[in-house]
Structure 1
Amino acid sequence: MSFTETFTDFYNHVKTSLADGTFAKLTLAKTIGNTDLMNIYVRPIVEEGILKLELKYKFQQEEQVEIHTIDNARDVLVNYINNPFLSAILFTAQFDLIYKLNKKRAVNITEQVNTFENASEILLEYLNQ
């Protein structure tokens, strides 16, 4: 399977957690080599009554923010898998899902005990409208 296919499978869990109100945050991390871009943090926001995702790019010297629709965010994020990021972690109120590439670029998706007890406040407010 290609990175696009495996990341799409992983991202379907992101979309499910947004829909069921358990999404806390998504982080892309573990870069290849010394890169200027260190992390991408993804959080839900509501813009003009529509649930979207804020992508915060954490560089060594600055931060940049972009707003995307939920589906478009997948298209943006998949471009960063294996270039430069080797992992993505979905934090939910139920579990953490880790998408990881090893040195041979084989994909491993594992579930762990949840880090966060509560979902994103913004998401919960949006779903309770």
Structure 2
Amino acid sequence: MTYQEAFVDFWEQVKASVQEERFAKLTMAKTIGKPDLKNIFVRPLASEGDFKVLLKFSYRLKETEDEEQELSLEQAFEVLKSHLKKPFLTVLLFTTTKDVTFKINKKGVGSFTEGAPTFQDVRLADRD
């Protein structure tokens, strides 16, 4: 299964965790090389109406200020998808019932594994 197809399956778990109010956090990590962009974090936001997330770009250099965007879940999917493989190889989904790790191997194949939950409850992101 290509990493793009596997990521779509992984994203179904993200959407299910949101619908069931179990979504705690999502992190893109493990880059190829040492790009300026170190991590991308996604946290749920308190919002009236539709579900929103705070997407934060965290940079390696202290001189580069982190960027934040308030997005819908589908908008966040498009942003994250564009950063897969170049530069990120791993995406971690943290829910209150399990953690799911999505990985892309050297051959460009995507897979995911499940583990015990890191978070016990959902904490909404603070908007600066």
TM-score interval, normalised by the smaller of the two chains: 0.7 to 0.9
Other-structure match for 1:126? none
Contact 1:3 1:78 in 2 (8 A): no
Other-structure match for 1:10? 10
Q: Aligned partners of 1:105, 1:51: CA distance in 2, in Å?
A: 32
Distance 1:102 1:3, change over 3 A: closer
Contact 1:89 1:96 in 2 (8 A): yes
Q: Which aligned pairs between 1:1-80 and structure 2 lie closer than 5 A?
A: 1-61=1-61, 62-80=65-83
Helix, strand or coil at the partner of 1:50: coil
Other-structure match for 1:117? 120
* TM-score in terms of structure 1 length: 0.87
Contact 2:44 2:123 in 1 (8 A): no
Give the letter for the 1:75 counterpart: E
Q: Which aligned pairs between 1:95-110 and structure 2 lie closer than 5 A?
A: 95-110=98-113
Q: Aligned partners of 1:48, 1:93: CA distance in 2, in Å?
A: 22
Give 5+ residue unaligned stretches, structure 1: 124-129
Contact 2:53 2:73 in 1 (8 A): yes
* TM-score in terms of structure 2 length: 0.87
Give the letter for the 1:104 counterpart: K
Helix, strand or coil at the partner of 1:122: coil
User: Which stretch shifts more, 23-32 or 101-110?
Assistant: 101-110
Distance 1:43 1:33, change over 3 A: same
Q: Kindly report the root-mean-square deviation, in angstroms, between the aligned alpha carbons of the 2 structures.
A: 1.6
Q: Which runs of 4+ in 1 moved over 6 A?
A: none
Kindly state the Cα deviation for residue 69 of structure 1 after the two structures are TM-superposed: 0.8
Q: Aligned partners of 1:46, 1:70: CA distance in 2, in Å?
A: 13
Cα deviations by residue, 1:55-112 (Å, 9 ceiling, x for unpaired): 1000113210011111121111101110100000000111100000122222121001
